[in-house]
Amino acid sequence: MKEDIILKVEDISKQYRLGLIGTGTLNHDLNRWWCKIRGKEDPYLKIGETNDRAKKGTSSYVWGLRDINFEIRRGEILGIIGKNGAGKSTLLKVLSRVTSPTTGEIKMKGRIASLLEVGTGFHGEMTGRENVFLNGAILGMTKSEIASKIDDIIEFSGCHRYIDTPVKRYSSGMTVRLAFAVAAFLEPDILVIDEVLAVGDAEFQKKAIGKMQDISKGEGRTILFVSHNMASIQNLCTRVMLLDNGKIDIDGATDEVISYYLKKFRNKEVEQKLISRADRKGNGKLKFLDYWFENIKGEKINLIQSGLAYKMVLKVQNITTNNLKNIRISVGIDDDQSRRLTIFSNDLTNQVIEFKSVETKLVKIRIPAIPFQSGTYHFTLFASENQNISDWVINAGSFEVENGDFFNTGRIIESNQGYILIEHEFH
CATH of the domain at 93: 3.40.50.300
Residues 311 and 390 in one domain: yes
Contacts 24+ apart (CB under 8 A), 390-394: 390/282, 390/283, 390/284, 390/285, 390/286, 390/287, 391/280, 391/281, 391/282, 391/284, 391/286, 391/287, 391/288, 392/280, 392/281, 392/282, 393/274, 393/277, 393/279, 393/280, 393/288, 394/279
Q: What does the pLDDT average to over 243-250?
A: 91
Residues 313 and 387 in one domain: yes
Averaged pLDDT of the chain: 82
Instruction: Domain count for the chain, please give it.
Output: 2
Least confident stretch, 149-163, 201-215, 379-393: 201-215
Instruction: Tell whether 115 is covered by a domain.
Output: no
Residue 387's nearest CA partner among 258, 237, 300, 283 is: 283
The predicted pLDDT at position 264 comes to 74
Residues 253 and 314 in one domain: no
The predicted pLDDT at position 47 comes to 53
Residue 227's nearest CA partner among 213, 207, 241 is: 241
pLDDT, tens only, 171-223: 878 888 888 888 888 778 888 888 766 666 677 777 888 888 888 877 788 98
Residues 382 and 246 in one domain: no
User: 50 pLDDT band (50/70/90 cuts)?
Assistant: low
Instruction: Tell whether 384 is covered by a domain.
Output: yes
Residues 232 and 287 in one domain: no
Helix (H) or strand (E) holding 133: helix 128-138
Instruction: Tell whether 76 is covered by a domain.
Output: yes
Percent of the chain past pLDDT 90, that is, above it, reads 27
Residues 245 and 308 in one domain: no
Residue of 199 and 366 predicted with greater confidence: 366
How do beta strands 247-252 and 239-244 pair? Answer: antiparallel
Instruction: Tell whether 315 is covered by a domain.
Output: yes
112: number of Cβ within 10 Å: 21
Residue 176's nearest CA partner among 159, 190, 189, 188 is: 159
User: 49 pLDDT band (50/70/90 cuts)?
Assistant: very low
Give the E-state strand segments of 180-238 in sequence order: 190-193, 222-226
Q: Residue 391 in contact with residue 381, Cβ under 8 Å?
A: yes
Between CA 54 and CA 57 the distance in angstroms is 9
Q: What does the pLDDT average to over 418-427?
A: 75
One-letter amino acid of 343: I
Instruction: Tell whether 128 is covered by a domain.
Output: no
Q: Is the pLDDT of residue 59 over 80?
A: no
Instruction: Tell whether 208 is covered by a domain.
Output: yes
The predicted pLDDT at position 40 comes to 67
Residues 301 and 344 in one domain: yes
pLDDT, tens only, 227-246: 877 777 887 888 999 998 88
Instruction: Tell whether 408 is covered by a domain.
Output: no
Residues 243 and 384 in one domain: no
Instruction: Tell whether 121 is covered by a domain.
Output: no
Between CA 240 and CA 77 the distance in angstroms is 8
Residues 64 and 193 in one domain: yes
Q: Is the pLDDT of residue 147 over 60?
A: yes
Q: Is the pLDDT of residue 257 over 80?
A: yes
Residues 309 and 386 in one domain: yes
Residues 263 and 280 in one domain: no
Q: Look up residue 82 and give its DSSP letter.
A: -
pTM above 0.95, yes or no: no
The domain of 386 spans 274-402
Least confident stretch, 64-68, 168-172, 264-268, 277-281: 264-268
Tell me the three state secondary structure of residue 209.
Answer: helix
DSSP 247-287: EEEEEE-HHHHHHHHHHHHHHHHHHS-GGG----BS-SSEE
Helix (H) or strand (E) holding 376: strand 375-385
The predicted pLDDT at position 352 comes to 93
How far does Cα 195 stand from its chain's mean position? 7
Q: What does the pLDDT average to over 358-379?
A: 90
pLDDT, tens only, 87-98: 888 898 898 888
Edge-first strand order for the sheet with 5-17 is 49-50, 61-73, 5-17, 103-108
